[in-house]
């Protein structure tokens, strides 16, 4: 049985009273690198602003994961 290592990352972006808080879990495998994973979560937080304007909740699904 192989053991998976996971790390949690978060990001926030915004100004004034308009902020997006993103959280995600990265499972480190042969292809996943911590910096790549944390960058993906950061980019997703920017994407949710564009995809879900004027909303209090949003969900984006990056190519290799899910961020909320």
Higher pLDDT, 58 or 62: 58
Ramachandran quadrant class, 47 (left: phi over 0; alpha: psi -120 to 50; beta: rest): alpha
Convert the pLDDT of each residue in 30-52 to its tens digit: 455 777 777 877 788 778 878 87
Handedness of CA 47, 53, 54, 57 (dihedral sign): negative
């Amino acid at each position: 049985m192989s053991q998976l290592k996971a790390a949690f990352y978060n990001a926030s972006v915004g100004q004034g009273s308009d902020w997006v808080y993103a959280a995600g879990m990265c499972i480190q495998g042969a292809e996943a690198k911590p910096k790549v994973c944390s960058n993906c979560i950061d980019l997703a937080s920017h994407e949710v602003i564009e995809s879900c304007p004027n909303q209090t909740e949003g969900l984006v699904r990056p190519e290799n994961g899910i961020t909320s």
